[in-house]
Structure 1
């Protein structure tokens, strides 16, 4: 038996709940082809109509897919995307959801991740916790985040809607990552002030720390271990790439900090911010890039009330 079959069955049967006769599109690129084929085989066991498209590897997370792929995405009931870079925060994904597709993106997924860790979580439990956190964020107007490592950040979420990445994508228009497990929201543009010390992972490395100073909702200065690489990526796109795009809370108890942002940002006891595009989940900035940075053991206050204390969720 293929060692990834257990994870693939969770994707197909539990997370997407693929049914007989549904039109399923698997989008992949050459490095992720083995994973894509495993998922496709399991979907065919459900008597789904499966199409697999292999596209060239992109340049960065949030880059739009080739136009033929984007057009095809609007014709399917279910889309699963094990790719090197993320299609989550793209207009193509947004249009597919508006057309009624259920979409699971799996950027950076590895064969090892299909066999253990976050992908094998009890997604009913993940969904329960994620929805609780999302409901509390939805009732709040201001977020304050601090860590012993030096993170000290405030921003407004007034009028913004939280997206609960539950891992259960059963209704038309549902979308999220697999593995899943986060509640995330787009801060109001221009309101972020303070600094973030990324001591979990960023750009798929857990080594060192990266400090990002935020002024008026934009990353003004970047220093530390990943500063040169991050700055180069942001500068290549332009000023909008520095937008404080996202705040997220990890909710998957099986997730591990392994240097793969897809799993790292789901770790229970962590939070993360992202820079760049937030136009696909309630924000106003289109940037064509989306870079997450994870930090450990945060204390989070919503309108002055504790949501998390030193990494422990109080829900």
Structure 2
């Protein structure tokens, strides 16, 4: 049904060619994902004959490492067996402390036929995983991450001028790199300040043509990893990743972490349970600015965080894009119609005023 749109994704966003080795994978969280996997494979074979796929049981958490079977499909049995023999694979999969250098050494020595392009659209995100980090940073893989993807996005937020999105995202990312702090407010109660000193701004352009480039599709944001111990204030949340909350909840941040949650909503109890299981999940992880003018859905996080005129703040894992926190959880929360100030020594700039992007 969406063959033309998938074809355009391969051509425009990934520059897929006959020399590429393509891996497409998803999970079984939603019925339509397996059918979409078949469509991606069928169209992919128009571009290259080296196409492989994988379908796995949903991890149920954004930011969790994908299962062993996908590692085998990606790196080969010899590499994965060596990691298992050394007792490293289980530690990686559970985001326990492990020697990254040793893991990388095994993969670089033993891995065979690693894909050059990955299209990842499991319902639960693999963006903030060691799996993705290894592929992009050390094997030069072009990686499109599409968690929560709904095929109707092909007609909306994927149908955009990607060169405009890329330029705006890059310009704002450069500003985030220069800034030392940010202050986000909304008319419905969000009021939070945090440090982004010495943290690099990263553009999510939607154009992954060069080795190691990665991001979401639909794309359209500039983001950075705030300093994990320096966030103070209130974040009022209106939407969970895939639904509007029946009642808003408020996270109160002190010293970078969520100290308490206010509001009676089932999602609050889910988050509190996450914190009990993974205490490090409570720390601020990401600050991003939406840059996609065709994005509009507030009830789907993949698209909501790309809406031009919004920002989003995440908690949990950020070690894969410049932060220090390693934990099996990462979730973003969108702030709508925000007023945003950023600044450094001797300067400050109003980036957004009630959801309107200011001159940059």
Superposed, which structure 2 residues align to 1:10-49 within 5 Å? 10-30=8-28, 31=30, 32-49=33-50
CA distance in 2, matches of 1:284, 1:233: 19
Contact 1:73-1:79 within 8 A present in 2 as well? no
Partner of 1:229: 270
Partner of 2:162: 123
Contact 1:18-1:48 within 8 A present in 2 as well? no
Superposed, which structure 2 residues align to 1:1-315 within 5 Å? 2=1, 4-30=2-28, 31=30, 32-74=33-75, 75-97=114-136, 98-114=138-154, 116-199=155-238, 201-207=239-245, 208-224=247-263, 225=265, 226-236=267-277, 238-303=278-343, 304-314=348-358, 315=360
CA distance in 2, matches of 1:258, 1:300: 19
Contact 1:202-1:294 within 8 A present in 2 as well? no
After superposition, the CA RMSD in angstroms is: 1.4
TM-score for both structures, normalised by structure 1 = 0.94
TM-score for both structures, normalised by structure 2 = 0.83
1:71 Cα deviation after fit: 4.5
Contact 1:277-1:286 within 8 A present in 2 as well? yes
1:240 Cα deviation after fit: 0.3
Contact 1:73-1:96 within 8 A present in 2 as well? no
Contact 2:286-2:318 within 8 A present in 1 as well? yes
1:70 Cα deviation after fit: 2.5
**Which digits, 9 at most, give the CA deviation of each residue in 1:173-204, with x for residues without a partner?**
111111111111100120111111123x2231
CA distance in 2, matches of 1:70, 1:222: 37
Give the total of aligned pairs.
310
1:163 Cα deviation after fit: 1.4
- Specify whether residues 48 and 136 from structure 1 end up closer, same or farther in structure 2 by C-alpha distance, changes over 3 A only: farther
| Structure number, greater radius of gyration | 2
CA distance in 1, matches of 2:170, 2:287: 15
CA distance in 2, matches of 1:154, 1:70: 39
In structure 2, list runs of 5 or more residues that go unmatched: 76-113
**Which digits, 9 at most, give the CA deviation of each residue in 1:198-249, with x for residues without a partner?**
23x223112342211111000111123331222223333x210101001111
1:148 Cα deviation after fit: 0.9
Partner of 2:97: none
Q: Does the residue aligned with 1:189 lie in a helix, a strand or coil?
A: coil
Contact 2:296-2:304 within 8 A present in 1 as well? yes
Runs of 4+ with >4 A deviation:
none
1:95 Cα deviation after fit: 0.6
In structure 1, list runs of 5 or more residues that go unmatched: none
Contact 2:170-2:203 within 8 A present in 1 as well? yes
CA distance in 1, matches of 2:269, 2:241: 11
